[in-house]
Each structure stands twice: as C-alpha cells, then as structure tokens.
Structure 1
Amino acid sequence: MIWNESIECMDRESLRKIQSIRLKKIVEHVYHNTPFYRKKMQELGITPDDINSIDDIVKLPFTTKYDLRDNYPFGLCAVPMSQIVRIHASSGTTGKPTVVGYTRRDLSAWAECLSRAFTAYGAGSSDFFHVAYGYGLFTGGLGAHAGAENIGASVIPMSSGNTEKQITLMHDFGSTVLCCTPSYALYLADAIKDSGLPREEFKLRIGAFGAEPWTENMRHEIEEKLGIKAYDIYGLSEIAGPGVGYECECQHGTHLNEDHYFPEIINPNTLEPVAPGETGELVFTHLTKEGMPLLRYRTKDLTALHYDKCPCGRTLVRMDRILGRSDDMLIIRGVNVFPTQIESVILEMPEFEPHYLLIVDRKNNTDTMELQVEVRPEYYSDEINRMLALKKKLASRLQSVLGLGVDVRLVEPRSIERSVGKAKRVIDNRKL
C-alpha cells in the first residue's frame, strides 16, 4: 500500500526539479528571515542568487547541534513567534536542549510523512494505534499520534511508562499497531508473558519502532516474542521527529521523504560528498519547513544512500540501517567500536537476552570494556563450568568481531535495569 503514489513513486528527474524549486525558495526564506544564516552565507560570499538547482546545495553552510544551542531558544526561527503553533525540544542530556518550532503547515507536512510510513507498514483506518512513545517535548508521541489520525486510524495516546496499564489497555482495546522504542517493545513482550494473559488474545500485528539504533537480530527477537511484523521508523527532533524515513514491505532500507528533507552523505572528516552507496555522515536540508528550516544539518548518523528503484515501486532514496552515530562511536585502545556491533553478537546467540550494559573505563592508562549481559532463564545455571563455557563462547565471538578483548560478565535474567524510553546501553567512565 502506498499513501502518496505521485510523490513516493515519482521519477528521479521530476523529483530533482521539485527539490531544486524548493531549495531555492527555502534559501531565500532563511537568508531574509534568519540572521544566523544570512551571516553564514555572507561569510562564504554567497547569496540566494547563487542557488539555482539542488546541485548547488554543496555551496551552502553546514549547521550543527552547537548552532542550535548557541541560538537557544528561538534564534533560528524564520517566522514570527505568532506563527509558531508547536514547540518540541530534545532531552538536553548534554546541556541546553535543542528547540524546534513548527507552523501549521510544518505540522501538516510532518503528518503527511508519517502517513506514508504507516501506510507502507500496511496500517489503515481500521487500525488501533497504541502510541507508547513519550508525549511532551519529545517528538515521538505527538508525531506518531498525528500520523495515525491522518490515515483515519483510532489512536490510544498511552505515552511511555505504567507498563501494567499499557498491557491491560492493549489487550482490552484490541490495539493492532504498537509505536514505541524497540527496547521498550522487548520490555512489553516480557511483561505480557509475565501477565498471564494469553498472547493469542492480543490483536497486535504491526510495530513502528525507532528513536534508538537496533539490529536485524533485535527485530527478529521482537517479532517472535510479540507475534508482529516490526518496522523501523527514522527521525530526529531537529528535522521533524519520526517520519523522516520509513521502511516498506521489502525492508530493504529506509525510504527517506526527500521531497521534504533532502539527504546528503559526507565524509565526516573532509566534509566532502561521498559517492552513492558509500558510508558517511548523513546531512539533511529542509525543503518545505517554514518555522525553523535548517541548511545541511549534520546528524552525526553514519549510513549510506541507494538511489535505485525499490521492488515496492517507490523511487524515494533508500538509506541503510544506521551503523551508529559518529559521536556514539567508542574508541577503545585505538579501535572503533559501535554498541550495535556488540548487540548483533549478543542477539545471534540463543543463550542471551537482548539486555546488556557496556561499561568502559581506563585503568593503568589502558582502556577496559566490561559487558554485562543477561542469560536466558533456560540457559542460566548454578553449574560454574557451564557458565564459564558460555562466557568463553561470547568473549571469543566478540573478540573476532571487534578485534578486542571484552571482559564478559554473565548476569541473571531481569537483573539489568529496563528503560521505558531510550535504552541506556553504555557507561563511559573514562575522563576523556
């Protein structure tokens, strides 16, 4: 099923024409209405007249999270505050939050993009959406809510937390689509099992999961435990929230809504564009945003883009699964390590639960990595030899994948703290 066939299946040449017209318009908009961008462009010696097609995007300045924080709260807004009807913000765990303002048209465009996603998953007006993303300043809850309403579905605005009530209402209301983080989906799956309610009494069939990186193995784990089809939804609060990209039934990459959010991949060190299919840092430029348009925003997400037509019929560019964030990457004894690599290893081994904690430290000037991982109840044992063999098996697999020794600690089922939002997987105690 396709929500907006004329755009999602448009030929590349026609799409580039639309992107070119929209880019020129957005550059004029920010040049005249956002002093920050006018100054940046003047420093580079360019004016809106220098931007005539989407190919000219490389002339424009980059924007980073620091620029948003330096202009906190509303310094990057390109319309009067009287036109801003909604404000969202990041969690601000590393300082001031990044703030985003939306006009009515911005909210409408965002809902359109989410409608494309949910339709691609096979959802429609007869579905019950159980939205367990957090509501409030976080974009997940209200974003998914608007997209579901836009396709005519019934929305249960649960928000996150209160797991017992989540399960009761999911069961009693007959929820068919679950929207939450993948880690919370696993938590719900375990809680449903504990509740004693038979899984066959639940009507869930689709999961829309995002807001944190997750692996293919984790997808299979969720699908098996909840008896659903699990889809990835991609977004980031600075660009729109969920719905910037989505998987189709082929699950052969994430289609990006590039008529609204133009993607580039650059080398994070040289800032030069890389060839299609090559991995680098994902950069977005708003093409339709009124409230707070961003030019060439550096997401720090590492991925690759593919422009060939998808078997589903969509021509929108496909993005590989996010490898990780360039700022999530751990450098341990000179080796680049992504938490997702560790998660993949854990999930390919049937003995372990997908719940782990990686603790990085520095002792005697040497980096150390301790991995605490839960053993599934049927494999957990009091026999020391069996547990030692299991520990050795995981440590040696990690060594071969990472090229580094990891101190593995096997822990009892349910002993690692669960999260109702984004899972905390890594604690880095080094004073870097």
Structure 2
Amino acid sequence: MLHATTTNELDFMFDSVAETMSRREIADLQATRLRVMLQRAYDHVPHYKAAFDRAGVLPSDLKTAADIRHFPFTLKTDLRDNYPFGMFAVPLSDMGRLHASSGTTGKPTVVGYTLDDVHRWSELMARSMAAAGIRPGDVLHNAYGYGLFTGGLGAHYGAEKLGCVVVPVSGGGTERQVTLLKDFGARALCSTPSYALNIAEVAEGMGVDIAKLPVRRGLFGAEPWSNELRRELDRRLGVKSVDIYGLSEVMGPGVACECDVATDGLHGWEDHFLFEVIDPETLEPLPMGETGELVITTLTKEAMPMVRYRTRDITRLTDEPCRCGRTHVRILRVDGRDDDMMIIRGVNVYPSQVEAVLVGLDGLAPHYQIRLFKEGALDAMAVDVEVLPDAPQDAEALTAASRDVRHHIKSIIGVSCQVDVKKPGGIPRSEGKAVRVIDER
C-alpha cells in the first residue's frame, strides 16, 4: 500500500515499511527472497540448471545476499538463444502478459509476466511515480509507445494504480500531443527525454508556451540523458524532470526512479531487485561507489527470473542517506552502456558526453547525431548538430559555429572530430527512443 506522509514539509508519498528499511533489514529480506528465486530458477528453467551445474553452485549455497557473486551471469544472448519461451519458469498457459524487443538486430528478446508479476510491476511503477512527485488525481499524459515495448503499458498500469487520470496518447502525432496537453491540463508528462524535447519544439512552433500549462512533472526514461538536457527540459517545459530506469529483461520501467526531493540518483527498489556493480573486464564485484557495469537480479518475478543480468549500463551505486528518507541504494545516473562506448583514436567516448558538451552552447539547438566512419584504418567520428531558429544561418556563420563546437569537443572530451552545424530541422526528430549514433563503418 502507498501511504501519504509529510516530512520537514516536503510532501511525498512512499511505502513507509518497504522504502525505509534499515540496511540490515534489506539484506536479510534479499537473502530470503534470493534463496526462493534461485531454487525456482534451478527447478523450472533448464538454462539456469545447466548454468548453475557448470559453475558448480546450488541455490542452497547462498547464505547471504553477497553470495550471489558465485552464481553465473545472464546475458541478452541467453534470452535470444532460448527464444521464444525457454527462459520461462511457468507454463505459457499460466502467463498473463508477453512483451518483446523490436528484434531489429536479430531475434527479439521475449519477456513474460504472470498476473502477479503484472500486479507487482504496477505497484513499483506507482511507487516510482509517487517518488517523482506525481499524485493521485493528477492527469498524466503518457507519450511512451504502447505495444510490445514495455514503456507505455508499464507507465499506464502504474499511473492507474496510483490513482491518476491517464491519457494513453502513446508516441507520434506531436501537434496533437501539444493540443491534448493544453486542453486536458495534464500535470505529468511521461516520455523519452528526446521526445519531450520534440514536444517542446513543436509547441513553440504552434505558439503554445508549455511552461505556462499545468504540467509540472516530467518522468523521462528509456534512454541515457545528461544533466544538461535535464536543465533544458526543465526550462522549456516548465517541469521538474525526473529520471526513471528499467529494462524489459528485468521488468520494464520502474526498476529504479529518482525522487523529486533530491533528484540525485535513482532509488533502486531493493525489496524486488538486487543491484551489483562489476568490473566489465574482470567481472569481479566492485565496492560501493566505484564505477562499473550494473548487474541486476530479480527477487520476486515469477514468470521469468533473472539471475545476475548484465545490463551493460555504466554507473555506480551509493547507500548514503537521501534527503527524502528512502534507504534503498541509489543508481547515480546511467551515463551510457559499455557496448555504446566509442573508441576514437584511442579515446573512450560515450554519446552522453557529446550531449553534455552540445546542450546549452550558445546558438545551438539540443538536437544532434553522431556518425561513425573509417578514416584509413582508424575509426573516426562526426557530429551533426543544428542552430536555433534565431541564430545566424549564412554559410560563414555555420562554418564558424562548426569550428567552435569542434573546439569544445576537443577541449572537454579530448577527441578530434568532424562537426557539421546544420540549419533548423536538419536533425531527424524522435517519436520514441532517439537514434543518437549512426554507424557508417
């Protein structure tokens, strides 16, 4: 159950039992739930039985939550190798829901839920939305895509569980999105950050100042985004932007969420998930606070338990107290994926680093794409970005802007690259997850 409470006159809503447990209580609960989950996976998922046997471990070997380090990892390729239903721990007839990835790079990854899983997912999304400052009775404009993608329905069910009035608009039709935001008086907007930026731009073109509308919370996720983009969204939409995190393979959105009190790291819901950070090279667990790859184990998912799922997301964890009163670990922003990392002339570069340089530069719009190509035997990078409508757009001005952006990227990130500053509208707009990197190699 969600309980309303007020602390130090900061109004927020939380599960006072689950979200404020002591670290000892969290560890004990995780160990209990881990033992049950590992036995379930071993008994009902042939992949896990084989993987545990190869590693020489049994569910009974786990005494404390820290013992999870002895169990094998799960990779996305394991899901694809067991396509479509080989990772399920219950018969297909006992499922309540199936979701899947787009499968654009091969077989899709299929994820399943019992009806109890759907209920828990809805509760965790409601918990996340409450942490973000969304309240029962708020009109919530849901611009995440509906369908096999988990974002739309995950947000929808969570908002309904919280008691919101849901506008299930999905993605696309951006002018209509602006009209509905204005006419329905939504107080919360859910979308990818790149699509929220698109909505803001289209609204400006329509003569609508979204910052003057009732919308006050932006719950943005499904793609990495920088603090610079957060500030841009806050300014243009008049909202407080809050980050939400999830993966379809683990549950969907709602695995972790920022609170609107601090907006300083995503609270990972440790009563349902175990979070680790590992060195992506040695695969050894790293101490709290060190940067590495995030690994997640589900504790309560029935249909499709995940044991040490390698997310490929690069981040770090902290268990330092948060001003909101929640005690769960915080994921200190996901800055990128280790498989998204680009090595340009020996320099490691993440798209989010490029975004952090570009967003907020005078005269530039926060729309960009990165192109990778070969320059002889070496990988090279080009950045396409566009100017604001009121910025000079003659050839000389665009050339000067390109030179300036190239200098900023070199001085801040340390990599040389080509830069093409385009006129307004030169970068494709997103209606879902943004395509930030185009590989032409």
* TM-score of the alignment, normalized to the shorter chain, above 0.5: yes
Distance change (3 Å), C-alpha of 1:377 and 1:309 = same
2:300 aligned residue: 288
SS at match of 1:424: coil
- 2:316 paired with 1:304: yes
1:327 aligned residue: 339
1:317 aligned residue: 329
Q: Deviations over 1:152-188 (max 9, x none)?
A: 1111111111112212222111111100000000000
1:76 aligned residue: 87
1:415 aligned residue: 426
SS at match of 1:6: coil
Distance in 1 between the 2:395 and 2:372 partners? 29
Contact 1:24 1:53 in 2 (8 A): no
Q: Deviations over 1:104-137 (max 9, x none)?
A: 1111111111111111122111201110000000
1:231 aligned residue: 242
Q: Choose from 5, 28, 32 the match for 2:16.
A: 5
Q: Choose from 277, 283, 297 the match for 1:265.
A: 277
Distance change (3 Å), C-alpha of 1:350 and 1:34 = same
Give the drift of 1:200.
Answer: 6.0
CA RMSD in angstroms comes to 1.2
Q: Choose from 342, 345, 367 the match for 2:357.
A: 345
Distance change (3 Å), C-alpha of 1:348 and 1:192 = closer
Q: Choose from 90, 93, 96 the match for 2:101.
A: 90
- 2:264 paired with 1:255: no
Q: Deviations over 1:26-72 (max 9, x none)?
A: 01111111111011111112222211221210111100000000000
1:5-154 → structure 2 map (5 Å cutoff): 5-154=16-165
Give the drift of 1:196.
Answer: 2.3
Q: Letter of the aligned partner of 2:362 in structure 1?
A: P
What runs of 5+ residues in structure 2 fail to find an aligned partner? 1-11
Contact 2:398 2:422 in 1 (8 A): no
Contact 1:380 1:412 in 2 (8 A): no
- 2:340 paired with 1:360: no
Contact 2:40 2:89 in 1 (8 A): yes
Percent identical: 48
1:380 aligned residue: 392
2:383 aligned residue: 371
SS at match of 2:47: helix
Q: Choose from 208, 222, 243 the match for 1:211.
A: 222
Contact 1:3 1:115 in 2 (8 A): no
SS at match of 1:336: strand
- The alignment's TM-score, normalised by the length of structure 1, stands at 0.97
Distance in 2 between the 1:102 and 1:199 partners? 37
Provide the aligned length of Structure 1 versus Structure 2. 429
SS at match of 1:32: helix
Further displaced range: 228-237 or 363-372: 363-372
Q: Choose from 239, 252, 259 the match for 1:241.
A: 252
Distance in 2 between the 1:316 and 1:332 partners? 37
Give the drift of 1:143.
Answer: 0.2
Q: Letter of the aligned partner of 2:278 in structure 1?
A: I
1:147-166 → structure 2 map (5 Å cutoff): 147-166=158-177
Give the drift of 1:381.
Answer: 2.9
Give the drift of 1:2.
Answer: 2.8
Contact 2:232 2:360 in 1 (8 A): no
Further displaced range: 212-221 or 111-120: 111-120
Distance in 2 between the 1:138 and 1:185 partners? 18
Distance change (3 Å), C-alpha of 1:382 and 1:110 = same
Q: Letter of the aligned partner of 1:391 in structure 2?
A: S
Contact 2:393 2:423 in 1 (8 A): no
Distance in 1 between the 2:371 and 2:51 partners? 40
Distance in 2 between the 1:33 and 1:76 partners? 9
Give the drift of 1:90.
Answer: 1.3
Q: Letter of the aligned partner of 2:254 in structure 1?
A: G
1:167 aligned residue: 178
Give the drift of 1:416.
Answer: 1.0
Contact 1:306 1:317 in 2 (8 A): yes
SS at match of 1:230: strand
Give the drift of 1:198.
Answer: 4.4
SS at match of 2:190: strand
Further displaced range: 60-69 or 49-58: 49-58
Distance change (3 Å), C-alpha of 1:191 and 1:404 = same
What runs of 5+ residues in structure 1 fail to find an aligned partner? none
Q: Letter of the aligned partner of 1:422 in structure 2?
A: K
